[in-house]
């Protein structure tokens, strides 16, 4: 990702920031190996993001202006299923548990 794209995403609040904060967080491993081992998927529309290994293992951000919760839920469901299919196809050995699906 280019430096320009990083600045744009951070300015819009769509890219995680370098961790800062109390020493307690640092001693707990927050920010360890920064920025390695973190990633982001950003849809071209700018309305769908997946953050990996920021504060959560995975954070899915899906935006829609009209507030139609049914549409948002359908988009989220399709997006998660698409990610699951891609992970299973391309990343053999990815840990998956049917109890949590």
Region 82-98: mean pLDDT is 76
Region 19-45: mean pLDDT is 67
| Residue 22 pLDDT > 90 | no
| Domain 3-93: assigned CATH number | 3.30.590.10
Which residues are within 8 A (CB) of 10 and not within 5 positions of it... i.e. 6 or more apart? 17
Specify which residues 62 forms β-bridges with: 48
- 57-62: Cβ within 8 A, 24+ apart: 61/14
pLDDT of residue 27: 65
Confidence of residue 64 (pLDDT cuts 50, 70, 90): confident
Count of CB atoms situated within 10 Å of the CB of 47: 14
What is the rounded radius of gyration, in angstroms, for the C-alpha atoms of the chain? 16
Cis peptide before 44 (omega within 30 of 0): no
């Amino acid at each position: 990702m280019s430096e320009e794209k990083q600045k744009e995403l951070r300015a819009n609040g769509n890219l995680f920031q370098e961790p800062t904060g109390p020493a307690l967080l640092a001693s707990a491993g927050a920010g360890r190996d920064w920025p390695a081992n973190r990633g982001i998927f950003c849809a071209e529309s700018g309305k769908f993001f997946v953050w990996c290994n920021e504060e959560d293992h995975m954070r899915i951000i899906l935006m829609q202006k009209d507030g139609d919760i049914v549409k948002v839920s359908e988009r989220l469901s399709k997006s998660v299923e698409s990610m699951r299919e891609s992970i299973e196809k391309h990343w053999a050995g990815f840990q998956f548990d049917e109890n949590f699906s």
